[in-house]
Structure 1
Amino acid sequence: MEKEQYFGVNVSPLNYEEIIQDLKTRIALREKSTIIAVNPEKVMAAEKNAELMELINSSTYQIPDGVGILLASKLKKGSIRSRVTGVDMMDRLLKFAADEGHGVFLYGAKEEVVQKAAENIKAKYPAIHISGTQNGYEKDAGKVVEKINAAKPDLLFVAMGSPRQELWIREHMNHLHPVVFQGVGGSFDVFAGHVQRAPEFYRKLGLEWLYRLMKEPSRLKRQMALPKFLMRVLFSK
């Protein structure tokens, strides 16, 4: 797949369905695949952090999570036509796993959060096989790897916050049974019902950032990355 690039950071142009179709082939071949969410804030951080840029660019799919990436693609007449959010990508993968009989493992967050998330996912997708769960407070990475491998899942979701979760995946991926890896940040809290997403009206318009800003005005400094990013895209060659 030909990827778009913004200030050195790759972004995959595929939508949800195209990623799932691509993953079907890769899973059948037992090829390891990683998914990382990309937004303007992360792009600008990667410009100043070579390790973060390498981490993003070495992933299989760099999904256009932020509305800023979508707008940038339109400004540059790129091929990205829709956002692919981290939490919705996880949800699509859970449905895919339930439909295709692939086991999933949830790693990260507090014990009560990961357990409630697993419970709610099972209620939403009764056919799903949740191979196991592990909270994010186990200090011995070796024990975590052993537990995941014993469960033999095909998909692993890691909720530690970015880029810590992606660094953990990269370090241990080649020693793990799963073939699909996604760092999902606070998505377990969403599935557990502890965090409410923006209403559908805001999500459809790509205005989740505005809803979060209204709820948490302290996010203003972080949100300023969006206009700065778009201005730079507009005036870049």
Structure 2
Amino acid sequence: MQKETYLGVDVSPLNYEEIIADLRGRMAKGEKSTIIAVNPEKMIKAETDADLKQLINESTYQIPDGIGVLLASKLKKGGIRSRVTGVDMMDRLLRFAAEEGKRVFFYGAKEEVVRAAKENIEKKYPTIQIVGYENGYEKDNDKIVRHIQEVNADLVFVAMGSPRQEHWIRENMHHVPATVFQGVGGSFDVYAGHVKRAPEFFQKLGLEWFYRLITQPSRFKRQLALPRFLLKILFSK
């Protein structure tokens, strides 16, 4: 696929269904695939963090999780037409796993969170095979890897915060049979019902960032990354 690049960071132009179609082909060939969400805050940080930039650019799919990335593409006459959020990408992959009989593994979050997420997902997708999980407080990495090997997982979702979760994926993906890996941040909390997403009205308009700002004013400094990012894009060659 032809990726777009902003501030030295690659972004995949594919939408949810195009990613699923591409993944289906890669899985059939046994190719490993990784999914990382990119947003203005992460892209600005990558300008001065070479390891983070490499981590992002080495991923198979850098999904445009943030209205700022979509606006950057429009400013530069790119081809990105819609956001691909991390939590919605995870949901689309879970539906794919349920429909295709793929085996799913979760790693991360508190025990009560990952367990509740698993139970709620199984209610939403009754045919899904969630074959195992480990909470984020399990420190024996060999045990985690063995567990994924034993249950022969196809897809692994890791919720440890970025970029820690992506580092874990990079270091362990070639030691397990799974071929699809996504770092999902706080998505387990959403599925567990512990964190509520912005109302659908805000989601459709790409204004989840604004909803979070008005409900959590302490995020103001973090949200300044959006205008900084757009100014950098505007004046970049």
TM beyond 0.5: yes
Quote the residue 1:185 is aligned against. Answer: 185
CA distance in 1, matches of 2:33, 2:146: 20
Q: Deviations over 1:45-79 (max 9, x none)?
A: 00000000000000000000011000000000000
1:65 aligns with 2:75: no
Gapped regions of structure 2 (runs ≥ 5): none
Quote the residue 2:124 is aligned against. Answer: 124
Alignment of 1:1-237 (within 5 A): 1-237=1-237
- Secondary structure, in 3 states, of the residue corresponding to 1:63? strand
CA shift at 1:177, angstroms? 1.2
**Partner amino acid for 2:70?**
L
Moved over 4 A (4+): none
- Secondary structure, in 3 states, of the residue corresponding to 2:18? helix
**Partner amino acid for 2:97?**
A
Q: Deviations over 1:75-112 (max 9, x none)?
A: 00000000000000000000000000001001100000
CA shift at 1:224, angstroms? 0.1
- Secondary structure, in 3 states, of the residue corresponding to 1:53? helix
CA distance in 1, matches of 2:57, 2:236: 20
- Secondary structure, in 3 states, of the residue corresponding to 1:83? coil
**Partner amino acid for 2:226?**
L
CA distance in 2, matches of 1:61, 1:101: 23
**Partner amino acid for 1:181?**
F
CA distance in 2, matches of 1:8, 1:229: 12
- Secondary structure, in 3 states, of the residue corresponding to 1:94? helix
Q: Across the two proteins, how many residue pairs are aligned to each other?
A: 237
**Partner amino acid for 1:134?**
E
**Partner amino acid for 1:195?**
V
- Secondary structure, in 3 states, of the residue corresponding to 1:51? helix
- Secondary structure, in 3 states, of the residue corresponding to 1:70? helix
CA-based RMSD of the aligned residues comes to 0.5
**Partner amino acid for 2:197?**
R
